[in-house]
């Protein structure tokens, strides 16, 4: 359905009601789609913060984001069960829109998992580790400077033998959380694809050594908190891909927690500080596996299923956002 047709349909459609006389919600049809209500309500909050500020234009873009959703019933390829799939929507693509941030995360996860079989075929003995690098909190007004220093430190880290001789490819994302005192806590999540020799006594890098190397690369006068974990199934667990999916989801999650965005002055300053900064990158044999520079409205529409929609999956169920009750209601 074309955007113009979709908007016209939205303008004339009337909300339907249940047999009890009340509205019928998206979650009545599919409880698993509750995140739409959650993220759209958060987006409404961000819109209110941006309104009548220097970011008023962003507020109006968010206001028009995902207000009308069209779904089709389609068979789940894994189970064969019929479920709702998104087939029509308009997105604002504002960086700090909680809806678009969520859809963007799903898009990247889907792209990685789609590429995974060919990666594993090319490097069957490779292993995965999840690395988190931190620095101390900084005033949010100094966030941009801190992020630039982190980027320079990352480039130094990549040249260190602990990294260069072990890592085949990497995906790196930056996350910023809000401190209780209103400060900003920038940190880096990395999914590293490593050579099998990494786990030998000769090349293995302990957590304490990672912390030392990061302190040196970041030129810190204190010992930073660094976490390094092997991505592997828990004892007795079934399905080796599940831990990797979890590591991918943790790496490619939101860059800013939606609940942190609800702090008005903090969000406004954060938006100023991170303008035009990149929060995701990849390298080595994983370079461009996410195609992070590519993003269209269609990509966000099919975020959790990278293959294109089938012609017979036209939207036949439509839901509209209701600001007062903060729910999607069926027409």
Distance CA 214, CA 265 (A): 32
Residue 173 belongs to what H/E stretch? Answer: strand 167-178
Please give the domain boundaries of the chain with CATH numbers for all domains.
1-124+295-331 (no CATH), 125-294 (3.30.70.120)
Contact assessment for residue 224 and residue 218, using Cβ atoms and an 8 Å cutoff: yes
Neighbours of 312 (CB within 10 A): 7
Give the pLDDT confidence score for residue 241 in this predicted structure. 64
Neighbours of 174 (CB within 10 A): 21
| Phi and psi torsions of 274, nearest 5° | -100, 10
Give the pLDDT confidence score for residue 5 in this predicted structure. 43
Give the pLDDT confidence score for residue 42 in this predicted structure. 98
Give the pLDDT confidence score for residue 21 in this predicted structure. 55
Per-run averaged pLDDT (10 residues), the chain, 331 residues: 42 44 85 96 98 97 97 82 91 97 94 93 96 98 98 98 98 97 97 97 96 98 97 61 87 94 98 96 94 88 67 82 97 89
Give the pLDDT confidence score for residue 309 in this predicted structure. 52
0.85 exceeded by pTM:
yes
**Coil, strand, or helix at residue 1?**
coil
Q: In what order do the strands lie in the sheet with 167-178?
A: 226-230, 127-134, 184-194, 167-178, 280-284
Distance CA 185, CA 171 (A): 20
State how far Cα 75 lies from the chain centre. 26
CA quadruple 159, 248, 89, 26: dihedral, nearest 10: -160
Give the pLDDT confidence score for residue 4 in this predicted structure. 42
Strands, E assignment, 215-264: 226-230
Give the pLDDT confidence score for residue 234 in this predicted structure. 60
Distance CA 99, CA 86 (A): 14
Give the pLDDT confidence score for residue 22 in this predicted structure. 62
């Amino acid at each position: 359905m074309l955007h113009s047709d979709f908007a016209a349909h939205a303008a004339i459609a009337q909300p339907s009601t249940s047999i009890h006389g009340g509205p019928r919600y998206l979650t009545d049809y599919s409880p698993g789609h509750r995140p739409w209500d959650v993220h759209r309500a958060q987006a409404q909050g961000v819109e209110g913060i941006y309104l009548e500020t220097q970011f008023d234009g962003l507020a109006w873009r968010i206001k028009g984001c995902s207000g009308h959703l069209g779904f089709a019933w389609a068979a789940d390829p894994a189970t064969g069960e019929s479920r709702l799939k998104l087939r029509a929507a308009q997105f604002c693509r504002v960086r700090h829109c909680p809806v678009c941030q969520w859809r963007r995360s799903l898009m990247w996860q889907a792209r990685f998992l789609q590429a995974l079989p060919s990666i594993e075929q090319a490097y069957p003995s490779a292993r995965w580790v999840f690395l988190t690098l931190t620095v101390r909190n900084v005033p949010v007004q100094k966030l941009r400077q801190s992020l630039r220093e982190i980027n320079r430190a990352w480039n130094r880290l990549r040249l260190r033998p602990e990294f260069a001789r072990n890592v085949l490819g990497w995906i790196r994302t930056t996350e910023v959380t809000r401190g209780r005192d209103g400060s900003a806590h920038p940190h880096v999540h990395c999914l590293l694809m490593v050579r099998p020799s990494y786990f030998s006594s000769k090349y293995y890098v302990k957590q304490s050594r990672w912390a030392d190397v990061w302190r040196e690369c970041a030129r810190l006068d204190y010992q930073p908190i660094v976490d390094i974990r092997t991505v592997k199934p828990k004892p007795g667990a079934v399905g080796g891909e599940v831990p990797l999916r979890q590591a991918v989801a943790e790496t490619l999650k939101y860059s800013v927690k939606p609940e942190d965005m609800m702090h008005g002055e903090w969000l406004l300053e954060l938006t100023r500080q991170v303008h035009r900064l990149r929060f995701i990158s990849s390298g080595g044999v994983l370079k461009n596996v996410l195609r992070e520079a590519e993003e269209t409205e269609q990509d966000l529409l099919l975020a959790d299923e990278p293959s294109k929609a089938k012609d017979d999956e036209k939207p036949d169920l439509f839901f509209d956002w209701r600001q007062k009750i903060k729910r999607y209601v069926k027409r």
